Structure 1
Amino acid sequence: MPVIHIDGPAGLPQSARQKLVREVTRAADEAYHVPDVRIWLRETPADGYAQDGELGARIRPVATLQVPELSSIDARRTLVGRVNAALADAYAGLADTENVIVFLDDYPLERVGWAGRLQSDVPEMVTLAERLAG
């Protein structure tokens, strides 16, 4: 159930897009072991981005991961490092890849609904959450 939004500049070639989503999916799969990883690529033209008040500044990619709680700081570090590396590789030459930001918005199961019910009411998800917390 990880939901991932990647914001970056327009113009990413199809092969780089495919490699990016493949690498980010692998990183999420290895961190969470949940097969339902959803990724949205959101492209912004240069005149649609500003940095410190400068319109058209070189875009700094951002990834926002809305994910289950992950208690291990080492697992979080690994996940952030892998997502950062995938973005830096994909956007090399198109964006400021020295300043990639990765946000982890993690949620307990009782704050996530799926198929009309809370994840905390799904026994398989409770087992997964216990494994991630261990």
Structure 2
Amino acid sequence: MPQLLIEAPIGIGDAAKQAMVTDLTAAIDAAYHIPDIRIWLREYAPENVAHDGRLNAEPIKPLLFLEAPELADLDVKRTMTEKILAAISDAYDGLANTKETLLLMNHYPLENAGWGGKLHSDNPEIVQAVAQLNG
């Protein structure tokens, strides 16, 4: 159920995208061990991105949003962050300002997420998985 949304410049090829999503999925899976990891890639032309009020002012700085259950272990978060940022850097090297990629993690308690017609907090499998994750 973890979701990663990527805002980045257009221009990487299919092979680089596939390598990137493989690495991103592995990084998230190593932290969460929860299936159904989805990655959403939104690509922008430089003339459609403004920095400090100026269009096409500098190479795009990728922006990532990780939408996922709460994750208490800071060491696991650090490792996952390093792997995610490395995968973005590898994929967008020379095309974006990957030294300033921003990853925002939005962590949700199970009562604030629903799937399959019910809250995650009402799904014993999900409750158990998150309890093990944060045990």
Q: How many Å separate the matches in 1 of 2:98 and 2:5?
A: 17
- Residue type of the alignment partner of 1:125: I
Q: Which residue of 2 aligns with 1:37?
A: 37
Q: Which residue of 2 aligns with 1:122?
A: 123
Question: How far did residue 51 of structure 1 move?
Answer: 1.0
- Residue type of the alignment partner of 2:73: S
Q: How many Å separate the matches in 1 of 2:11 and 2:110?
A: 37
Q: Deviations over 1:70-102 (max 9, x none)?
A: 000101111111111100110001000110111
Q: How many Å separate the matches in 2 of 1:63 and 1:16?
A: 17
Q: How many Å separate the matches in 2 of 1:61 and 1:94?
A: 10
Q: How many Å separate the matches in 2 of 1:83 and 1:55?
A: 27
Question: How far did residue 133 of structure 1 move?
Answer: 1.3
User: Structure 1 residue runs of 4+, over 2 Å off?
Assistant: none
Question: How far did residue 54 of structure 1 move?
Answer: 1.9
Instruction: Please report the TM-score for the alignment, with normalisation by the length of structure 1.
Output: 0.97
What RMSD, in angstroms, separates the aligned Cα atoms of the two structures?
Answer: 0.7
Q: Which residue of 2 aligns with 1:78?
A: 79
- Residue type of the alignment partner of 1:24: L
Structure 1 alignment gaps of length 5 or more: none
How many residues align? The count is: 134
- Residue type of the alignment partner of 2:46: A
1:15-54, aligned counterparts within 5 Å? 15-54=15-54
Instruction: Please report the TM-score for the alignment, with normalisation by the length of structure 2.
Output: 0.97
Q: Which residue of 1 aligns with 2:12?
A: 12
* Secondary structure at the counterpart of residue 35 of structure 2: coil
Q: Which residue of 1 aligns with 2:112?
A: 111
Q: Which residue of 1 aligns with 2:2?
A: 2
- Residue type of the alignment partner of 1:13: G
* Secondary structure at the counterpart of residue 39 of structure 1: strand
Is residue 2:65 matched to residue 1:89? no
- Residue type of the alignment partner of 1:77: R
